[in-house]
Amino acid sequence: MNIEDAVTAVTAEANALLSCLGQPVVAYHVTAIMREADLEHARQMQLALMRRSIEALVDDGLEDVAAKHFVSQFDWRLGSTWRLLHASDGVAH
């Protein structure tokens, strides 16, 4: 798996987030997270994106509970894809 494939996998079912934050913004942040080799730093970046994602979805009219549920699924896809991408690099996690 390469970074481009990882970004595509993570954002494939993120239409609500892509529409309210914008595809370039989401792709930029996901790409930056995927490029980060350090697990702890990648997770900090991921948590910041998740907080911003909840705020954006709520600002866009989604209820808080629904936004958190959606972002939870996005968070899981992002984390698992990061692990898959970096496992093939031989990076210790």
In a domain, 35, yes or no: yes
- Angle CA 8–22–9, to nearest 5: 10
Q: How many CB atoms lie within 10 A of CB 58?
A: 15
HEC secondary structure over 16-70: HHHHHHCHHHHHHHHHHHHHCCCHHHHHHHHHHHHHHHHHHHHHCCCCHHHHHHH
In a domain, 43, yes or no: yes
Domain count, the chain: 1
Per-residue pLDDT averaged across 10-33, rounded?
92
In a domain, 58, yes or no: yes
- Structural domain of 34: 3-87
pLDDT digits (tens, 9 = 90+) for 31-63: 999 999 999 999 999 999 999 999 999 999 999
Q: What is the pTM of this model?
A: 0.88
In a domain, 92, yes or no: no
In a domain, 76, yes or no: yes
In a domain, 46, yes or no: yes
In a domain, 65, yes or no: yes
